[in-house]
Amino acid sequence: MLNYWGVQYWEDLIERAKRGGLNSIETYVFWNGHEPVQGMYYFEGDYDLVKFIKLIHKHKMYAIVRFGPFIQAEWNHGGLPFWLREVPGIVFRSDNEPFKHHMKKFVTLIVEKLKAENLFASQGGPIIVSQIENEYNTIQLAFREKGESYIQWAAKTALNFNIGIPWVMCKQKDAPDPVINSCNGRHCGDTFPGPNKPNKPYLWTENWTAQYRVFGDPISQRSAEDLAYSVIRWFSKNGTLVNYYMYYGGTNYNRTSAAFVSTRYYDEAPLDEYGLPREPKYGHLKDAHRAINLCKRALFLGTPSVEKLGHGLEARVWQQPGTSTCAAFLANNDTTAPATVHFKGGEYYLPPNSISVLPDCKTMVYSSHMITAQHNARNVVRSKVTNKIEWKMYKEALPSQFTNKAPEPLEFYHLTKDTTDYVWYSTSFVLGERDLPFKKGARPIVRIASEGHGVYVFVNGEYVGSGHGSKIEKNFVFQKDANFVAAKNTIHLLSYTVGLQDSGAYMERRYAGPRSITILGLNTGTLDITGIGWQTLVGIDGEMKEIYTKKGAKSVKWVAATGDKNPITWYQGYFDAPEGNYPVAIKMNGMGKGMVWINGRSIGRYWMSYLSALKQPTQSEYVPYPQGVPEANKEPGGSIRGRGRRPQGHRDRSGR
C-alpha cells in the first residue's frame, strides 16, 4: 500500500515498489482530504487521485482502491471529514439516513470520477479490486440490527455502481454476496477461516509489515523472515492476493495523524519513510516474490494436496494432473527446532518456523528463513551547512481577549472543528485570607480532569505545569500546587489534542477538553470552579498570524533565542539546503512538544518530552522531504515551534 501523499515522489516510489517485485498498488481514498468543507472538493496536489492511478497504469501495474469512505488507517478521524459530525441526527457507519446519504454521495463522486477516466479494469484501466467500508465487523455489534442492515446496504450500494470489478470488505466474515470477505493481520495463512463462499478467492488486504508508531511507545519491528514466511504460506494455502500494509511507510505530515499516532508513521516498511529500501526486508521479499512467480503455472492450473512429513512438518503440493507442472512448499512450523525431511526422493533442510519453495517440486530456490539480501543501516551525519543556524524566538503572551463565554468549559472538538490542536480556556475568582492555607509554605492545588488529550496550566500568569493522556487512555487528571493569592486569581488552560480518533463505534460522540476544575487544599474546603464561567479562544497567536510563513513572520517581534521555559514559544532559523543529495532529517533533541514547518509547510507534530518505557522519545527525527530537498525548495527559511533547547539541523544517509 502507498498513500498518495507527496506528489513529486509518486513515480519514484511506484518504480521502487515494482522493482521490489510488486505488481499492484493499493491505496485508500481520503474523504476529509477531498471534501474538507462540505460541498467543496479538492483533487489537486497531494490529493490528485486520478494522477496517482494513472501513474500506476503507466508503470504497467494494477491498482486496488479502498473507497471506504471510512478508512481508519491511523489517519485523522478515520478519513471522515469533521463537518460530517455536525450533520443533524447523524450516526456514523450505521443504518442512519443522514450518514448513508453523504456516504453514497461521496463514493458516487469518486466512482464517477474514476470511471470518466476509464480507470477500471472493465474499461481497460488498472483498477482490479475496490473496497467498500473497512473492518466493520469490529464495531457491528454496537449497532445491533442497524449494523446488519447497514452492511447489507453498503454492499448493495457498491454493486449498483456496475463498475465490472470485484468489491471486497476486509475483516467482514458475513460479507453479502458477491462481495468478497478478506483478511487483515500478520499470519492470515493460519488465522483466516477463508471466504464465506467457495466461489470467492482468498484475499489478504493488509499484511502488517511492522506496527504503526504511537507517541509514548517504543519502536515495533517485524523480522524479514517472519514476513516472508507469512507471504509464502498464504500462497501455498490457496492465497490469491496479498497486500502489504504498509509497503512504503511514509510520513503523516501536518495534522493528518490520528490520535497519538506519531508523525513517522510506518518507518519499518520495506521502503522506509525516506523512500529508501530497508534491507534486508525489501530484498528478502523481492526474492520471495520471484519464487512465487516461478510457481504461478502450477498454482493456476494445479490441484493442491498436503503431505505430512513429521511433527509440524508438511509439504503443500500443487500438481497439474497428467503433466509435469508441479510446485511444492515445504514448511517447518516448529518455532524452535530445525529438521531434515525427505520429499520426492530429495533431502531438504528446513530451519525452524520456515517455508521453502520448490517451483518444480525438486529444486529449492527460496527459504523464508535464509536471507541472501544485504543488510543496511542508516547513518546520521551532521550537516556542516545547516548546523550554523542563528535561532530567534517569539514567546506568546497569555491571551486577554476571548471569543466565547459559557458557564462551563465548552467542548473542545465543537470549538476547533479540527482546524487546530489548541484551545485556550480562562476564568477568574476571588480568594480571601481565610481561604488560603495557614501553614507556612503550603499552597493550594489546582486539579483538572480532562477528556484529553493534554493541557498546559497557568495560574496568575505563572506556568504551573502540564499533563496528558495516552493512546490507550486519553482521559487524565492534572494535579499540582500553585501560587494562589488572597485576591483575584486567574487561571489559563491551554488544552490540546494530538489528532482525532480514527476508529470505534459512535465516533461522532467522542469528546475532548477539560470537564472538571477544582482547587484543593483550601481552609474552606474544595472549591469547584467548573461552573463559574469560562472564556475560550480557539488556536494560538502564532497559528492565527501564520508566523511560520515569510509574510506572517513579519507580524511579530523575534528576539535572540534563550533557554526560556515558556511552553508557548516559537523558534525560527534560516539555513541553506544541506550539502549533497541525501535524504534530510531535522533532529529535534532537546525540544518538548510542538510542530515543525519548513518553508511554510508543516512536516508534522513532534513530542520529544513524551518518553517510552525505554526512556526515549518515540520519534526524534523529522523528514522535510522523502528524497531530500528538491531544487525548487532550496530557498533558505523555516520556523520551528516547541519548548526546550534549539534543535540541530541534520541530514540522514542510508547505506549498506
User: Which runs of E-coded beta strand occur in 416-557?
Assistant: 422-430, 445-450, 454-459, 462-468, 476-481, 488-496, 514-520, 527-528, 534-538
Helices and strands, counts by H and E, the chain: 12, 34
Angle at 615 between CA 610 and CA 618, to 5 degrees: 50
DSSP helix/strand/coil, 191: helix
CA atoms within 13 A on the CB side of 470: 10
Per DSSP, what are the bridge partners of residue 405? 535
Nearest partner of 500 among 225, 258, 247, judged by Cα: 258
In the numeric block, which cell numbers belong to residue 629? Answer: 530537498
Angle at 49 between CA 45 and CA 52, to 5 degrees: 85
DSSP helix/strand/coil, 560: strand
Pairing relationship of beta strands 180-185 and 202-208 according to DSSP bridges: parallel
Evaluated on CA atoms 15, 20, 24, 26, the torsion sign reads: negative
**Distances 160 to 120, 127, 156, 157, 360 between C-alpha atoms, Å:** 15, 17, 6, 5, 44
β-sheet with 621-622: strand ranges across? 377-381, 648-655, 584-587, 621-622
Angle at 382 between CA 378 and CA 387, to 5 degrees: 150
CA atoms within 13 A on the CB side of 230: 24
**Distances 543 to 33, 252, 358, 514 between C-alpha atoms, Å:** 20, 19, 60, 22
DSSP helix/strand/coil, 367: strand
Just list the catalytic residues: 135, 206
CB 85 within 8 A of CB 148: no
How far apart are alpha carbons 588 and 585 in whole angstroms?
Answer: 9
